[in-house]
A and B are shown apart, each in its own frame.
Chain A
């Protein structure tokens, strides 16, 4: 696993500054939760870390190496960082197993037969052994999201990013996906989550960051941030979110 450090990251879309000088440290094996209202910049920040969006200023270090260096080939970086999206984004024309095998085959150039045992083991570990042959539209939302996590894990990433992965799920399906996150945490995965699941963030996170208008307004241990928030903005947000 790897550690992640963000220094003064700035991202603009036209005249709108979405990330306005973000500093963030994620230690090896740590789970960091980003909370804040929609539009605070949580998702954009995750997309910047994965280089899906080029940043306008600042540095992003993955294990000490600046991955936001202009001119760096983003493919190699993305292969080391897994990302899971709110809307699953499974490839609808492939079975769950094919979804998970595509990137290791293409990026690492591995053969199906060599991959199969490892990836089947992943499916088994997350309770999806009997779903490998199904197409995404034959799976429930919770199953699709777990397949999306398996697909990202199949690349053996050093860091995992989760972008509001339970927001599109029916309430009764949220639990099975959050359980997967707890399993990953136990295995020592370095993780950054953008989430609206305050209860989960408080229970499971090592660190919680409150974002507003593209800045980290306050960060701290979950008990501190949820129990005794210092900043008035944080207090106001939590008062609304926990009501």
Chain B
């Protein structure tokens, strides 16, 4: 009988429970097989002993890890003052590019040129050019610090990308919102500030999270112009101990920060998709 119940479950519920159990068992088995293959076959490679010695050396990791963590605070610092500056500059550039008034035409041109230039040049090149170029003017301390000019290079580059994301967010707000706000007598500026921007910013939070994660990693590029941050510190250990493990240590520290951040960004993205459907 179709509606007969066993242990309080309908036939459909029992079937679905069985299906769930089956997929779980298959997933678990295949994971175990893949892991076992890696654990068994990788150490059979001829150079494994050397690789293990120079990349996965426990002693070296233990010796270098505290110093690496310390150096990572430099990354955090540069990140901490660059991120707000990027958010502000990116938003201003986005607004400049959307300016309608003819008096602001130069601003529009500037916004477009800015995004074209800084999106078109590799980050490392911008870091080099600004980081070495501007202190080369012979500025007095502390204005010749690579921290300032390296950060500026990151701020300029990332603002260009962030501005484009803000712009797509502004475009994503339906024009009927603008109509409604204008019909109430609000000015263009008020419509932008009170109605369009709050919605636009909310719409792009997940994408901007991804930019933050990218920025966190790109802070390491400043090591090329001086600051002893984690990548540079790992390099120091590599030379000192003739071992690559410090780089693996640095990677681990990055992952500790970026994996939760990436998961969170994905969660926000998924929630947004759900809200829109």
Closest to A93 in B: B198
Please, what's the 1-or-0 string for B134-158, where 1 marks a CB less than 8 Å from any CB in chain A?
0000000000000000000000000
A42 on the interface (CB 8 Å rule)?
no
B194 on the interface (CB 8 Å rule)?
yes
The answer, among B177, B183, B186, B195, for a CB contact under 8 Å with A50, is B183
- Sample of 12 more A-B contacts, CB < 8 Å, known A47-B179, A89-B179: A75-B187, A78-B183, A82-B184, A83-B180, A85-B183, A91-B177, A91-B180, A93-B202, A102-B184, A103-B185, A148-B180, A152-B184
B190 on the interface (CB 8 Å rule)?
yes
Which size class do B's interface residues fall under?
A: 10 to 19
Q: Beyond A91-B195, A93-B198, A93-B199, is A107–B179 a contact (Cβ under 8 Å)?
A: no
Mind listing 23 A-B residue pairs with CB under 8 Å?
A50-B183, A52-B183, A75-B186, A75-B187, A76-B185, A78-B182, A78-B183, A79-B185, A80-B185, A83-B180, A85-B176, A85-B179, A85-B180, A87-B176, A89-B176, A89-B179, A89-B180, A91-B180, A91-B199, A102-B184, A102-B195, A106-B190, A106-B194
A188 on the interface (CB 8 Å rule)?
no
Q: Beyond A89-B176, A102-B194, A106-B190, is A83–B183 a contact (Cβ under 8 Å)?
A: yes
Distance between Cα atoms of A52 and B182 in the complex (Å): 7
Distance between Cα atoms of A75 and B186 in the complex (Å): 7
A45 on the interface (CB 8 Å rule)?
no
B89 on the interface (CB 8 Å rule)?
no
Q: Which residues of B contact A74 (CB under 8 A)?
A: 182
Closest to B194 in A: A102
Q: Which residues of B contact A106 (CB under 8 A)?
A: 186, 190, 194
Closest to A102 in B: B194
Closest to A74 in B: B182
Q: Which residues of B contact A10 (CB under 8 A)?
A: none
